[in-house]
Amino acid sequence: MKIAVLPGDGIGPEIVAQAVKVLKALNLHLEMTEAPIGGAGYEVAGDPLPEATLKLAKDADAVLLGAVGDWKYDKLERHLRPERGLLRIRKELNLFANLRPALLYAELASASTLKPDVVSGLDIMIVRELTGDIYFGQPRGISMLESGEREGVNTMRYNESEIKRIGRVAFEIAMKRNKKVCSVDKANVLETTELWRQVMIELSAEYPEVELSHMYVDNAAMQLIRAPKQFDVMVTGNIFGDILSDEASMLTGSIGMLPSASLDQHNKGMYEPSHGSAPDIARKDVANPLATILSAAMMLRYTFNDEANASRVENAVKKALAQGFRTADIWTEGTKKVGCAAMGDAVVAAL
């Protein structure tokens, strides 16, 4: 199996190194090749998604990505910025289904900012559409009006087949879980999501065992804090999913714990932590590598169909937490604070 390893920027290289260490410790036949993306791609090739990187990713069975972005690139033209590299690779590889599980490890209940009884036992799967919506809709841009003032435009749009295919992913996942799907929209205001709701309802006829509910995104944001355990699978569009998944991550104690999988129609996938590149803590060996390690576990599960090794990695993470190892973001009184590399070592040792 071939894995394209794209460390990216900020803390990307150090967290990816830990996930690679864990994958190597499994002694599987994995061929891992590194390439630059984001600011790193811009530095070497003047492009946040260099052609060679895209080719490597297309030829691979799966992609392991760190994170992209650094403030020092904020002044570049938009198409040269690190984030464009990420958005383009998602689009180029047709990775329309983004799975972001928010799972609370019992050991971390006290690391959450919410009361332990609100979050203990939490297990939500957020299914975010990743290649459409206002992220990619045309027209877009900033232009000069006749009046002499500037105007910014972005377009929210979804067609029926895009909604249907992400809906299907959510229903299929729900069938393997608690058979509940909550579709999140803003159908009271936005026509795009009115269509979203209609299509979800139509699709639900094919999944009679799954209980489908609907929630407006503002209410969903509130309910995630008020009573997050009411959710099993949540399915939503690109931008709502971006926002809600950051919110859900904090229920689990730290955004440093949240992995993600972005899949195409054939379960080829790109695996990355849900968090960003955190340039402020880069190269200090303090970042939490667990979201990336857990993303590697998702790779084993979803692309390589290797449930046994996926669970092995997840159990090793649990064991390292049970042994008291914590990076700074999840540290609480009485536990052992370790750096990024030492946390990777603790997971390898637990394997």
Binding residues vs ligand IPM (CB under 6 A): 69, 83, 86-87, 242, 276
For position 345 contacting Mg ion by CB under 5 A, the verdict is: no
Q: Shortest Cβ distance from residue 239 to ligand IPM (Å)?
A: 8
SS3 content of the chain, % helix, strand, coil (to 5): 45, 20, 35
Q: Shortest Cβ distance from residue 349 to ligand IPM (Å)?
A: 30
> Are 247 and 86 within 8 A, CB to CB?
no
Q: Shortest Cβ distance from residue 177 to ligand IPM (Å)?
A: 22
| CA 347/CA 338 separation, integer angstroms | 12
CA atoms within 13 A on the CB side of 245: 30
Please, which residue, 253 or 276, has the CB nearer to ligand IPM? 276
> Are 301 and 290 within 8 A, CB to CB?
no
Question: Could you write out the DSSP letters of every residue in 278-297?
Answer: -GGGTTTT-S--HHHHHHHH
Please, which residue, 260 or 309, has the CB nearer to ligand IPM? 260
Please, which residue, 85 or 167, has the CB nearer to ligand IPM? 85
Instruction: Indicate the residue type of 260.
Output: S
Instruction: Please tell me which residue in 242, 264, 285, 345 is annotated as part of the active site.
Output: 242
Cis peptide leading into residue 139 (ω within 30°): yes
Distances (CA, A) of 249 to 157, 269, 275: 26, 21, 9
Q: Shortest Cβ distance from residue 144 to ligand IPM (Å)?
A: 26
In terms of Cβ atoms closer than 10 Å to its own Cβ (0-12, 13-18, 19+), residue 139 is exposed
Query: With CB cut-offs between 5 and 8 Å by kind, which of ligand IPM, Mg ion, none does residue 170 bind?
Result: none
Please, which residue, 98 or 309, has the CB nearer to Mg ion? 98
Positive/negative CA dihedral, 196, 199, 200, 201 = positive
Task: Return the residue matching tokens 């649990």.
Answer: 318
Please, which residue, 123 or 242, has the CB nearer to Mg ion? 242
Query: With CB cut-offs between 5 and 8 Å by kind, which of Mg ion, ligand IPM, none does residue 83 bind?
Result: ligand IPM
Query: With CB cut-offs between 5 and 8 Å by kind, which of ligand IPM, Mg ion, none does residue 86 bind?
Result: ligand IPM
Please, which residue, 83 or 247, has the CB nearer to ligand IPM? 83
Instruction: Please tell me which residue in 246, 264, 285, 345 is annotated as part of the active site.
Output: 246
The C-alpha angle 77, 264, 21, rounded to 5 degrees, equals: 80
Query: With CB cut-offs between 5 and 8 Å by kind, which of Mg ion, ligand IPM, none does residue 39 bind?
Result: none
State the DSSP code for 231: -
Question: Does the annotation mark 117 as catalytic?
Answer: no
Of 223-242, which residues contact Mg ion (CB under 5 A)? Answer: 242
Please, which residue, 83 or 264, has the CB nearer to ligand IPM? 83
Question: Does the annotation mark 285 as catalytic?
Answer: no
Q: With contacts defined by CB under 5 A, how many residues of the chain interact with Mg ion?
A: 1
State which residue has the least CB distance to ligand IPM.
Answer: 83
Q: How many residues in total does the chain contain? A: 351
| CA 164/CA 87 separation, integer angstroms | 21
Q: Shortest Cβ distance from residue 250 to Mg ion (Å)?
A: 13
Instruction: Please tell me which residue in 24, 58, 74, 218 is annotated as part of the active site.
Output: 218
Of 188-217, which residues contact Mg ion (CB under 5 A)? Answer: none
Bridge-based pairing state of the strands 123-129 and 233-236 = parallel
State which residue has the least CB distance to Mg ion.
Answer: 242
| CA 125/CA 147 separation, integer angstroms | 47
Region label for 162, one of left (φ > 0), alpha (ψ between -120 and 50) or beta (otherwise)? alpha
Q: Shortest Cβ distance from residue 342 to ligand IPM (Å)?
A: 27
Instruction: Please tell me which residue in 47, 70, 73, 186 is annotated as part of the active site.
Output: 186
State the DSSP code for 303: T
Question: Does the annotation mark 218 as catalytic?
Answer: yes
Q: Shortest Cβ distance from residue 21 to Mg ion (Å)?
A: 26
Taking alpha carbons only, the member of 199, 237, 202, 232 closest to residue 216 is 237
Instruction: Please tell me which residue in 42, 73, 105, 135 is annotated as part of the active site.
Output: 135
As annotated, the active-site residues are: 135, 186, 218, 242, 246
Q: Which residues bind Mg ion (CB under 5 A)?
A: 242
